[in-house]
Amino acid sequence: MDQRAYLDSSVILRKLLRQKGAIADLAKWPLFSSQLLDIEVRRTLQRYHFDGILAAQPFARRLQEWYTFRDAVDLVSISGGILKRAAEPFPTLIKTLDAIHLATAIAWTSQTEEQVIVLTHDGPLGIAASACGFPVFP
């Protein structure tokens, strides 16, 4: 598929944590995301480990899976422009980190003029992305 996809942390975490409803084949899209993705994924895996949800071996395997997968994702630096846009109003209410994700997708499309689909399992982020004109999957 030629359409580039913006990857939200909810998508990769659902896959790494073996949760139901994970998107089966992320390789069909060229992927990009905010560098925030790396922080969110590693912090969540660490929290699952410290809370006893992931034992040491599964934690280490999931972390390695993430590092391997991360190499296939274009991570966009969080610029001052992205932060400025994230602080501005959106058509719907979204949380701060989701605003940074959406502002990153907006900045990318503005700079590249590429068609972008947003991949997210986060309901409010999906609604906001759709309201900003992005197709959303799933």
Measured between alpha carbons, how far is 120 from 129 in angstroms, rounded to an integer?
Answer: 10
Measured between alpha carbons, how far is 18 from 26 in angstroms, rounded to an integer?
Answer: 14
Measured between alpha carbons, how far is 14 from 20 in angstroms, rounded to an integer?
Answer: 7
Q: Is residue 116 part of a domain?
A: yes
* pTM assigned to the model: 0.94
Measured between alpha carbons, how far is 34 from 103 in angstroms, rounded to an integer?
Answer: 9
Phi, psi of 136 (to 5 degrees): -125, 140
Provide the number of structural domains found in the chain: 1
Where would I find the beta strands (DSSP E) of the chain?
4-7, 31-34, 73-76, 116-119, 136-137
Q: Is residue 89 part of a domain?
A: yes
In this structure, are residues 66 and 41 in contact, taking their beta carbons and an 8 Å threshold?
Answer: yes
Q: Please state at what angle helix 36-50 crosses helix 96-112, rounded to 10 degrees.
A: 150
Q: Is residue 57 part of a domain?
A: no
Q: Is residue 55 part of a domain?
A: no
Measured between alpha carbons, how far is 93 from 47 in angstroms, rounded to an integer?
Answer: 26
30-55 per-position pLDDT tens digit: 999 999 999 999 999 999 999 999 99
Q: Is residue 65 part of a domain?
A: no
56-105 per-position pLDDT tens digit: 999 999 999 999 999 999 999 999 999 999 999 999 999 999 999 999 99
Domain, as residue range, for 99? 4-36+74-137
